[in-house]
Amino acid sequence: GDSSFNKLLDPGPYTLAAAVGFMSNGNALDSWPIEVKTGINEVHLVVETPPSMEVVVWSASGDPIENARFSLLRRSSNSTNSTGCRPLKTEGNRYVILPDERILEIFAGGSGEEAFLEISAPGQPSVEVPLDRLGTIEVTFDPVSWLDVDVIGYRGSGLEGILHFTLTSDEGSASSSAMVDWLGALRIGPVPPGRYQLATSAKTGSRYPLDQIAIEYVHLAAGDNAIALTLPLLYQLTLDFDDELLGKRGQIMGGQFSSPRRFTARRPLVISLLAPGEYLVRVEQMEKAVRIPQQDSVFIAYEKIEINTMVIVQITPGSPAERSGLQVGDQVMAFNGVTFSGMEEMQAIGQKMVPNSDLTLTIIRNGVEMQLTMEVTAFEGITPRFIER
């Protein structure tokens, strides 16, 4: 078709270039030297139709897609370059795409790259189509699934505004997430049909990750799917502390937490939105196992740790140390009856131990002194903390 434009310029020599889109993207069609004189100048140009491709886009159900978006991809063995591509012309679900010079070079061969056209549209998963020549391409989006969730008991639950739902496929290759609206409804998608895990999480604080409070498994067919979801019963835990622990940093872990929820010990401290499960409360070296919902309040006592002792702060699961009966919080006082007054003395004792021999540890556990007999190798797998004067 015909096109015209006008521009105010100072007199002088110029180069007039025609391009599709941005000149920097390599879409120049042609250029001409011109001389602009004082007054009105007219330039009549004929631009040849550039190389183009026609792309026809359909939904999985055969409906025309009239709002598709496009990107041209150049991919080598170690990189991918993407350039947005605005269709030159659109008629319904038929789009005329102009590949840039670098894509045309790939068509000609010898560039060492591959060309792809990425097509996306609202409510559709993006599709990549390999390109190797000009011509007409018909693209049909893969079937997609949507899940409508009605959250029963949402209003008045105390969870308004903090619930988050995530769909994840069994193999983890597809996921989608959404927040529930004020009526307790949400729509998640689009995702490919298949079996998914629907995780319900709550945001318990601005600095903390989402706390998972429930999991459902759903099988999604192509198109719309719907379920009603009843919120799990959540509990709160009240913590109290000895005076010596007030103001100390602590954490509660286990249960539904993806990472520990941290706190500063105060009296009382209420931790809410706890799903049923096993938890561990830790402040300094003090620990307390908690079961929800059996316990709704817990007192964390201060236990004085002897100086010049080695405290076990972590044990690797499945390690010889775990199998030997050692526990986190045990205070090691002596090896084979030999006490130590510092890290160097303790290491010297360890160097004198005979491999595969028996080792007798004197420990303090929950304020009670006891002895444990085990092989020397059974001490492997601990993370110690040495406390000295």
pLDDT digits (tens, 9 = 90+) for 70-128: 999 999 888 888 888 888 778 889 998 888 888 888 888 877 889 999 999 988 888 89
DSSP string, 119-157: EEETTEEEEEEEE-SSSEEEEEPPP-EEEEEEEET-TTS
Averaged pLDDT, 340-363: 77
Which CATH entry fits the domain spanning 309-387: 2.30.30.90, 2.30.42.10, 3.30.2040.10, 3.40.50.12160?
2.30.42.10
How many percent of the chain have pLDDT more than 90? Answer: 11
Which CATH entry fits the domain spanning 235-300: 2.60.40, 3.40.50, 2.40.50, 1.10.10?
2.60.40
Q: What is the pLDDT of residue 389?
A: 46
- Cite the residue boundaries of each domain of the chain with CATH code 2.30.42.10: 309-387
Architecture of the domain whose range is 145-230: Sandwich (2.60)
- Cite the residue boundaries of each domain of the chain with CATH code 2.60.40.1120: 145-230
pLDDT digits (tens, 9 = 90+) for 136-147: 999 999 898 999
* Cβ atoms 125, 74 nearer than 8 A: no
- Residue 53's DSSP bridge partners are 97
Return the minimum-mean-pLDDT range out of 179-188, 302-311, 354-363.
Answer: 302-311
- Quote the CA–CA distance of 336 and 379 in Å, as a whole number: 13
- Quote the CA–CA distance of 20 and 27 in Å, as a whole number: 5
pLDDT digits (tens, 9 = 90+) for 254-301: 766 667 788 899 988 988 878 788 888 888 777 788 888 877 788 887
CATH of domain 53-140: 2.60.40
